Amino acid sequence: MAEALLQVKNLKKYFPIRSGILNRVTNNVKAVDGVSFDIYKGETLGLVGESGCGKSTTGKMIVNLLKPTSGEIVFNGENIVTANKKRQKEFRKDIQIIFQDPYASLNPRMTIGDIIAEPIKINNLAKHGNVEKRVLELLDYVGLASYQKNRYPHEFSGGQRQRVGIARALAVNPKLIVCDEPVSALDVSIQAQVLNLLDDLQKEFDLTYLFIAHGLNVVKHVSNRVGVMYLGDLVEVAADNDLYKNPKHPYTQALLSAIPIPDPKAKKERIILKGDVPSPINPPQGCRFHTRCNKCMEICKKEKPKMKEMENGHKVACHLYDESSVE
Ligand code: SF4
């Protein structure tokens, strides 16, 4: 296995809930509650789960847009969370993010050229005369024409704006890019073009991606490994072909059963999850998924299952596999 570029260790993010005249903290929204995973150099790790499961919050902590409540984010052997300000600024260059809504993330009053030039100037990555040359180079990498640098974000389509977001992320020569649902807001016909572009850029610049998405169908074609999150916790991680062929966690099995097969003769039994996702303020005791799981046992209501490695790096947190675990 390749070297880990990023290690996330027992990462937590609690958002306090305040109430009363004294504005005291009365509870916490446990958005991310003890997530651990590695991302290896040059790979794409897909991270999926329903809305509110904590996947985007995890991504934002990795790029330092949110401060973790506790836990470690180790990049190239160094803990980002406890690094000094100078090092954190350097990490911000190495780890970039592409947002879901490219329009909201681009300043509407700046031209595309200025938007892409901004991080180059802030980080002194090109001498004055070379900034424009670099901007044109980046526009070319993402499939935009040089004359478009003088246009404003509103003059572009959703797919083109996402290309601008990618160019801006590339401008600082990052090593890791957090792709936070980068194609969710795009038409299906455009999604494939942006995914292909990300794939080409990964090969060209030896990039590593954390690819956050709502559904397993989106990450299937772009990920080397996939992690599944539920209610602030990681429940399963495996190589993508292993996860799709042999899902072990009942939640992953339910998510996969919801993906339509483009064959009218193929039979597939859809697993319907009962109830709604519980509140992250008071998550269920034991296994967080037990209130919706069709295989729930008594132990699931009391004990939180540990993440166990099964085979070939396939990890799952579920009591169904307690005896066969290698831990
Ligand atoms: Fe279902 Fe129990 Fe496994 Fe949780 S630990 S997913 S409740 S079988």
CATH number of the structural domain spanning residue 238: 3.40.50.300
Residue 327 lies in a domain: no
Ligand 1 within 6 A of CB of 300: yes
**Under DSSP, is residue 227 helix (H, G, I), strand (E, B) or coil?**
strand
Please work out whether the CB of residue 126 comes within 6 Å of at least one atom of ligand 1. no
User: How many CB atoms are located within 10 Å of the residue 262 CB?
Assistant: 5
Contact 1, 40 (CB under 8 A): yes
Q: Model's pTM, two decimal places?
A: 0.92
pLDDT for the residue numbered 221? 82
* 251 touches 268 (CB < 8 A): no
Residue 88 one-letter amino acid = Q
Ligand 1 centroid from CA 246, angstroms: 16
Q: Is residue 326 part of a domain?
A: no
Query: Is residue 214 one of the residues assigned to a domain?
Result: yes
Assess if residue 270 is contained within a domain.
Answer: yes
In a domain, 156, yes or no: yes
**CB of 194 closer than 8 Å to CB of 215:** no
Show the domain range for 253: 4-321
Per-residue model confidence (pLDDT) at position 327 = 43
230 lines ligand 1 (CB under 6 A): no
Q: Do the beta carbons of residue 125 and residue 170 sit within 8 Å? A: no
Cβ–ligand 1 contact at 295 (below 6 Å): yes
Instruction: Write down the pLDDT at residue 326.
Output: 43
- Which residues of the chain have a pLDDT value below 70? 1, 128, 266, 324-327
**7 DSSP 8-state letter:** E
What is residue 1's predicted lDDT score, i.e. its pLDDT? 57
| Any domain includes 85 | yes
Q: What is the pLDDT of residues 247-296, one digit of tens each?
A: 999 999 999 998 877 777 767 778 888 888 899 999 999 999 999 999 99
How many angstroms does the Cα of residue 235 sit away from the middle of ligand 1?
Answer: 10
Specify the 3-state DSSP secondary structure of 140.
helix
Which atom from ligand 1 is nearest to the alpha carbon of 293? 1
Task: For residue 320, count CB atoms less than 10 angstroms from its CB and return exposed for 0-12, middle for 13-18, buried for 19 or more.
Answer: middle
Tokens 């100078």 appear where?
86
Whether 228 is in a domain gets the answer yes
* Per-residue pLDDT, 325: 45
Asked if the structure places residue 248 within a domain, the reply is yes
Q: Is 319 in the pocket of ligand 1 (CB under 6 A)?
A: yes
What pLDDT shows up at residue 311?
86
Q: Is the C-alpha dihedral spanning 171, 49, 186, 60 positive or negative?
A: negative
pLDDT at 113: 96
Task: Please give the tally of structural domains in the chain.
Answer: 1
